[in-house]
Structure 1
């Protein structure tokens, strides 16, 4: 699963990388956790152009009675995302790019779990394959939420964990974002492990174990 990640790119870099207008206020995040707002790119239904929005991490299906279901929907398995009731509608026409610069996973080492940071060696931002939903409660304002799709690990990730988030190449962005493109098999073909050729992984402090620690020190390598 993917339960924590980082987003430390500047607004200008994000705008250039994803073809969106730079956000006016955007802070670096070093330990993003479920239920928090995260930056995502999607197609604006009114302008049909890419737009950067903030979505709450943990997808709540439009039919849900209880928003707590979002706590169980922070990830969607790529192998079953097109069939699962919680995700199949969003998979057809509400796909997004979740902006990230890296993610954390915990590697079992004997009796302990060592947090690892995984990202591009260049530290440039990339995109997780995501889905989003619009949920209207009985009372109050609507919520827009999202999930991150996962797949089997690549060679870099295999010794660390048995799953990893789907990282889309820039060449796939247009097709993934297009709500008019709804062919299941070509979309599922995009949900494969990232090649990992430009990726790195290194151990970090157990500071990341607590989501309240959203500080640069979370990213610093440690000796183990």
Structure 2
């Protein structure tokens, strides 16, 4: 699964990595969020939508729950299994109409060591940003009176990355990310992308980081949280 992630790049940086035209500097000078190194559920990082063939960066809540769940004060869902997102009643409408990309530098997973949660940071070996497949019930330029948010689509990680976890986010290359975002991409094709086009485990590297990451505090936000654990010693 994905329980935390990092999103410290600018919108222009992520747009350029996706292959978008960023030559108009004025278009990309405003609206960037602050660098976020330890994003927990409930925070409002940026998600990417495609509107009129242009990328839209929108800050929105990480998490989704139905009106009934909100009334019952249940915790929002933060991930959706790719196997169930298409066919399951809960996320099906979002899979069809609300496909988004969550950009970032990497994400965190945990192991249990000596009875304590040990965080790991996972990123691409080539230092390129990650583009995680997501779904949302948010609709651009539409008045909505229910809770809106996004969830990250996850897949089986074939035993886990160094046994960190048995689930991992679906991470797409730029070309597949564009196809995922495009509302004209048939649902069947989007399902194929999510189920077969995610980057393989050997495209990533990972290391232990300081347990300070475990503290889900908006002010617990520094680049040092990404440093390998031995650099803290």
TM-score normalised by the chain length of structure 1 = 0.85
Deviation for aligned residue 1:104: 0.4
TM-score normalised by the chain length of structure 2 = 0.82
Q: Are residues 1:161 and 2:165 paired?
A: yes
* 1:189 counterpart SS class: helix
Q: Is the 8 A contact 1:30 1:214 kept in 2?
A: yes
Instruction: Measure the CA separation in 2 of the matches of 1:67 and 1:124.
Output: 37
The count of corresponding residues between Structure 1 and Structure 2 is 215
Structure 1: which 5+ runs fail to align? none
Instruction: Measure the CA separation in 2 of the matches of 1:155 and 1:118.
Output: 16
Report what 1:30 is aligned to.
Answer: 37
Report what 1:205 is aligned to.
Answer: 210
Question: What does the per-residue CA deviation read over 1:103-153, in whole Å, with 9 as the maximum and x for residues that have no partner?
Answer: 00001234332100000134331210000113833xxxx654111001111
| 1:1-224 correspondence runs (5 A) | 1-18=1-18, 19=20, 22=28, 24=30, 25-44=32-51, 47-61=52-66, 64-67=67-70, 71-134=75-138, 136-137=144-145, 144-153=148-157, 157-184=161-188, 186-192=189-195, 193-212=198-217, 213-223=220-230
Q: Let me know the Cα RMSD of the aligned residues.
A: 2.4
Structure 2: which 5+ runs fail to align? none
Residues 105/40 of structure 1: CA separation in 2 closer, same or farther (3 Å cut): same
Residues 158/70 of structure 1: CA separation in 2 closer, same or farther (3 Å cut): farther
Question: What does the per-residue CA deviation read over 1:158-178, in whole Å, with 9 as the maximum and x for residues that have no partner?
Answer: 511111111011121222111
Deviation for aligned residue 1:2: 0.8
Which stretches of structure 1, 4 residues or longer, exceed 6 Å deviation after superposition? none
Instruction: Measure the CA separation in 2 of the matches of 1:66 and 1:160.
Output: 30
Residues 117/187 of structure 1: CA separation in 2 closer, same or farther (3 Å cut): same
